[in-house]
């Protein structure tokens, strides 16, 4: 791992933390709040690629584990790891990895702009929604004891917002690919 990789991982971990400064929105019928931190995870994956993208949320999780209040709402510490929302937090790492892996394989600098945006969008949706929700819903159903179907249907309220986040992440990744070509050099 080069110094550049460490700097990029740290930068995107800081972005994820900064998105946590936006206050969470709770829906009331499910203990999972709406936050912008999942947007940072999508960005890390599609812009940095699989390996570096996965290390950024992993760094944030390590900061949470040592007690820093870096999650939305100022949460941090080991108590977070006993919450019913733990699956979403742990799901950040594979979500960023999968989004990065798909974007590395599909979004090529030689492709046209529309294809690149679509590829980044698909990568963000599969990684940042499908993979993250798989971890989050499974843990929520077990950890909160509400059953899989209730956890699943309750989580569907977040999909429209997450699709919007994926669209913005796709546009940002395309802009970075054109303006600052990190993506062809993904590690």
Q: What is the pLDDT of residue 30?
A: 64
pLDDT tens per residue, range 21-63: 888 777 776 666 778 999 999 999 999 999 999 999 999 999 9
Q: What is the mean pLDDT of the chain?
A: 90
pLDDT tens per residue, range 125-173: 999 999 999 999 999 999 888 889 998 998 898 899 899 999 999 999 9
Owning domain of residue 134: 3-185
CATH code for the domain of 143: 1.10.1760.20
Q: What is the pLDDT of residue 120?
A: 96
Name the DSSP class of 32. P
Q: What is the pLDDT of residue 179?
A: 84
Buried b (16+ CB within 10 A) or exposed e, 74-90: ebbeeebeebbbbbbbb
Say how many C-beta atoms besides its own lie within 10 A of residue 154's C-beta. 19
Name the DSSP class of 108. -
Distance in angstroms (rounded) separating the CA atoms of residues 53 and 98: 9
Say how many domains are in the chain.
1
3-state DSSP call for residue 30?
A: coil
- The answer to whether the beta carbons of residues 131 and 176 sit under 8 Å apart is no
Ramachandran bin of 44, using left for φ above 0, alpha for ψ from -120 to 50, beta for the remaining angles? alpha
Per cent of the chain over pLDDT 70 is 94
Is the pLDDT reported for residue 110 higher than 60?
yes
Distance in angstroms (rounded) separating the CA atoms of residues 7 and 30: 36
């Amino acid at each position: 791992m080069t110094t550049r990789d460490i700097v990029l991982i740290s930068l995107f971990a800081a972005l994820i933390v900064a998105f946590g400064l936006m206050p969470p929105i709770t829906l009331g019928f499910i203990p999972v709040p709406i936050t912008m931190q999942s947007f940072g995870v999508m960005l890390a994956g599609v812009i940095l690629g699989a390996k570096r993208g996965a290390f950024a949320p992993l760094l944030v999780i390590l900061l949470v584990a040592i007690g820093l209040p870096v999650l939305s709402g100022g949460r941090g510490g080991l108590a977070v790891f006993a919450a019913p929302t733990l699956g979403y937090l742990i799901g950040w790492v594979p979500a960023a990895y999968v989004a990065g892996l798909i974007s590395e394989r599909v979004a090529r600098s030689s492709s046209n702009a529309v294809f690149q945006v679509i590829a980044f969008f698909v990568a963000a949706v599969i990684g940042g929604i499908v993979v993250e929700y798989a971890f989050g819903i499974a843990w929520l159903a077990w950890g909160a004891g509400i059953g899989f179907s209730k956890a699943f249907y309750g989580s569907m309220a977040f999909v429209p917002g997450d699709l919007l986040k994926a669209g913005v992440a796709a546009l940002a990744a395309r802009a970075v690919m054109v303006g600052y070509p990190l993506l062809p050099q993904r590690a």
